[in-house]
Amino acid sequence: MNKKSVINNRKVEHIKIVLEKETEPNQSPFAKYSLNYKALPEISLSEVDTSTRFLGFNLAFPFLLSSMTGGPSEGETININLAKACEKAGCALALGSMRLVLKDKSAISTFDVKKYCPSIPLFANLGLVQLNYGCGADEINFLLDTINADGIFLHVNPIQEAIQPEGDTNFNGLITKLSNLLRKVNKPVLIKEVGTGIDHTTASALKEIGIKWIDVSGLGGTSWSRIEAYRRQDDLGYAFDDVGVPTDIALKQAAKIKGLNLIAGGGIRNGLDIAKSLVMGAKLSTSATPFLRPAMIDSKSCYEKLSLWKRQLQIAMFSTGSKNIKELKRTKLSITAQS
């Protein structure tokens, strides 16, 4: 089987596993926290403004619908529905890994959705490890230009690659290569993990070379080590369910790094989680798995869930007496239970 077919088949398997298997083995990182409730918030719910700015774009609420897929036929349907929903809801959208496009140009159509979401930021996506497998600035600029993306997420996923049967595991020298790359890429480069978290040391190193935005994507949401474990013929991967940094810890640690902007991924499952993550230091929150099934139905189903999460965020802010995101971030969290 050629590399193109391997990647395509893997994407189909990933969708099937997320829909049919248990892929969230860890406790929610937000369940043990509570917003400080005010019985008299002294504001009207109608006054609560959830809007924010992100990379020059106005968003209706601080949310980025995170990377899912692209390549197989299902990927095109999913991405079109996500793009239409995000445009209507006023939130950002990141696409799944575009590595397949570098092997098969015909796959571009499954990622080419900017025409459906012209007023919100759209992000391409590629594994950072691919810098050790022949990808460089030319390839990344090609991906950005070919779908008119507003930036690119380079994802880091050493545990996933190590468990993946056909994984790419040469992570040597990537900080230096990324540093050299940044000067040659035409659009913003953001870094994200995929569900095992970004530790303080790595976050600091990324900030030092010029990375301004990271999605910490910690333990507590969808586990890609678990997904890859299901794809194996042995039990190698199941031992790694709890390896990584929980999202709340990753946020609190990285929030101490001056000048680094944080996105909270990993266990965001409603608008209340968004509010909690913002108090922890995030400027944006992100999630993917809860939107996969709606995205396979239609854009309306995706939009309805996005609208629900935005309304939940608004009510969460109202409950703390916060008229806007800036005021919310000045509030505190209480620990309600030990994990």
Residue 337's pLDDT is what?
60
- Work out the burial of residue 108: count CB atoms within 10 Å of its CB; fewer than 13 is exposed, 13-18 middle, 19 or more buried: middle
Beta-strand relationship, 333-335 and 33-35: antiparallel
pTM over 0.85: yes
Integer-rounded Cα Rg, in Å, for the chain is: 19
Domain ranges of the chain: 3-335
Token pair listed for 258: 């001056």
The owner of tokens 């001056």 is 258
Residue 3's pLDDT is what?
65
Token pair listed for 87: 């445009």
Residue 339's pLDDT is what?
46
Q: What residue spans of the chain are helical by DSSP H?
A: 3-20, 73-89, 99-103, 137-146, 158-163, 174-182, 200-208, 224-231, 247-254, 271-279, 292-295, 299-319, 325-328
Distance CA 286, CA 216 (A): 10
Is the separation of the CB atoms in 250 and 216 below 8 Å? yes
Q: Is the dihedral of CA 323, 326, 332, 336 positive or negative?
A: positive
Residue 71's pLDDT is what?
63
pLDDT in tens, 41-87: 999 999 999 999 999 999 999 999 998 886 666 889 999 999 999 99
Q: What kind of fold does domain 3-335 have according to CATH?
A: TIM Barrel (3.20.20)
Is the separation of the CB atoms in 95 and 313 below 8 Å? no
Residue 73's pLDDT is what?
67
The mean pLDDT values, 10 residues at a time, for the chain of 339 residues are 71 89 94 97 98 98 90 83 98 96 92 97 98 98 98 98 97 98 97 97 98 98 95 96 97 97 98 98 97 96 98 98 98 80
Residue 105's pLDDT is what?
92
Is the separation of the CB atoms in 232 and 41 below 8 Å? no
Residue 6's pLDDT is what?
73
pLDDT in tens, 315-324: 999 999 999 9
Phi, psi of 222, rounded to the nearest 5 degrees = -65, 135
